[in-house]
């Protein structure tokens, strides 16, 4: 199965341009599953709720999702991409999954980072896993990496591949995702953006790039640089994620001792 990411630098507020550039950057790369960054079509640093309102889209009826459904059919590719989602009078920081069969599902970010909570409502529907035939795909967004519960829930729900659209500014996530993959024996595709935004004076954000694909044994199969747009597709075997044995005697899921984890909930 060919999975990949697009690491790009969105142009804030220019949704159509960003969507067109995304497809242009992906060119005619062949992939079964591609992951794009969080809020890839709008840019990250909103300065007012009105901006969010102007740029958010409905799912699946909005421009961006429809464009991806069209391309998914044409390319026979599944796509995960992050956008600002409008749901009646509320907005979510969402990741959308579409495929050749059309719209599949959406994840609304559960853990909101910093100023995101000024604009977005926190997700109310949990961490979803979708079976796309070749693999079971789990969705989480950016700072969800910091909460071990996110990847854990996805893996326990059967995810083989965690698709992780991101706009990372802190330095720790790429290495921490290695731990997430090891402790859950899953693949993870983190698609991050690059570049800088300072739409709010004094609140500059520098995005760290380093999009990557990590194996269930914690191997960084590929990590992108910090400062360059890049498309990368690798061949993986999703069934590697279904082997949870770390020794002949230790299955990391069967060995969990839930009776001692009550404090977590």
For the beta carbon of residue 229, count every other beta carbon within 10 angstroms: 16
Catalytic residue among 51, 57, 85, 109: 109
Sign of CA dihedral 12, 15, 16, 21: positive
Stretch that binds its own copies, among 42-50, 86-94, 205-213, 249-257 (CB under 8 A): 249-257
Taking CB under 8 A as the criterion, the residue among 13, 100, 105, 148 binding its own copies is 148
Residues 9-12: contacts with CB within 8 Å, 24+ apart?
A: 9/193, 9/194, 9/195, 9/207, 9/229, 10/37, 10/39, 10/40, 10/41, 10/42, 10/43, 10/44, 10/193, 10/195, 11/43, 12/42, 12/43, 12/44, 12/45, 12/197, 12/199
Cα separation, 265 vs 243, whole angstroms:
27
List, in order, residues 6 or more apart from 120 with CB less than 8 Å away. Answer: 52, 84, 91, 92, 93, 109, 112
Q: How far is the CB of 36 from its own copies (least distance, A)?
A: 24
Catalytic residue among 38, 57, 85, 197: 38
Question: Residue 258, interface with its own copies (CB under 8 A)?
Answer: yes
Cα separation, 108 vs 67, whole angstroms:
20
Cα separation, 36 vs 77, whole angstroms:
13
Residue 29 appears among annotated catalytic residues: no
79 touches 71 (CB < 8 A): yes
Residue 109 appears among annotated catalytic residues: yes
Stretch that binds its own copies, among 78-86, 93-101, 186-194, 247-255 (CB under 8 A): 247-255
Taking CB under 8 A as the criterion, the residue among 122, 133, 228, 237 binding its own copies is 122
* Comparison of 69 and 112: residue with beta carbon closer to its own copies: 112
Taking CB under 8 A as the criterion, the residue among 20, 114, 228, 235 binding its own copies is 114
Catalytic residue among 85, 142, 163, 173: 142
For residue 193, the number of C-alpha atoms closer than 13 Å in the C-beta half-sphere is 29
Residue 219 appears among annotated catalytic residues: no
Question: Residue 183, interface with its own copies (CB under 8 A)?
Answer: yes
Question: Residue 127, interface with its own copies (CB under 8 A)?
Answer: yes
Cα separation, 192 vs 197, whole angstroms:
14
For 208, the enclosing helix (H) or strand (E) is strand 205-208
Q: How far is the CB of 171 from its own copies (least distance, A)?
A: 9
Taking CB under 8 A as the criterion, the residue among 156, 220, 221, 234 binding its own copies is 156
- Of 81, 82, 85, which is closest to residue 33 (Cα–Cα)? 81
Taking CB under 8 A as the criterion, the residue among 59, 141, 153, 231 binding its own copies is 153
Site for its own copies in 213-242 (CB under 8 A): 218
Stretch that binds its own copies, among 44-52, 77-85, 120-128, 208-216 (CB under 8 A): 120-128
Catalytic positions are 38, 109, 142
* Interface residue list for its own copies (CB under 8 A): 110-115, 117, 122, 126-127, 143, 146-149, 152-153, 156-157, 170, 172, 175-176, 178-180, 182-183, 218, 246-250, 252, 255-258, 260-265
């Amino acid at each position: 199965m060919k999975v990949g990411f697009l690491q790009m630098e969105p142009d804030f507020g220019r949704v159509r341009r960003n969507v067109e550039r995304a497809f242009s950057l992906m060119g005619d790369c062949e992939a079964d599953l591609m992951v794009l960054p969080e809020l890839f079509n709008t840019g990250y640093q909103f300065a007012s709720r009105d901006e969010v309102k102007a740029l958010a889209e409905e799912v699946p009826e909005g421009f961006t999702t429809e464009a991806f459904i069209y391309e998914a059919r044409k390319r026979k590719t599944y796509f995960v991409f992050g956008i600002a989602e409008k749901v009646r009078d509320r907005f979510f920081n969402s990741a959308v999954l579409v495929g050749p069969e059309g719209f599949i599902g959406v994840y609304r970010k559960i853990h909101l980072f910093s100023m995101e909570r000024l604009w977005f409502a926190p997700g109310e529907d949990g961490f979803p896993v979708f079976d796309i035939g070749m693999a079971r795909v789990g969705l989480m967004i950016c700072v969800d990496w910091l909460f071990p519960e996110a990847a854990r829930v996805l893996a326990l729900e059967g995810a083989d591949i965690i698709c992780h659209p991101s706009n990372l500014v802190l330095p720790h996530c790429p290495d921490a995702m290695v731990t997430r993959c090891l402790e859950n024996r899953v693949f993870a595709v983190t698609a991050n953006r690059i570049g800088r935004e300072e739409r709010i004076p004094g609140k500059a954000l520098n995005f760290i790039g380093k999009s990557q694909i990590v194996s269930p044994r914690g191997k960084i199969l590929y990590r992108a640089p910090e400062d360059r747009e890049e498309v990368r597709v690798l061949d993986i075997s999703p069934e590697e994620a279904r082997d949870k044995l770390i020794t002949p005697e230790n299955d990391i899921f069967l060995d969990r001792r839930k009776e001692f984890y009550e404090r977590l909930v």
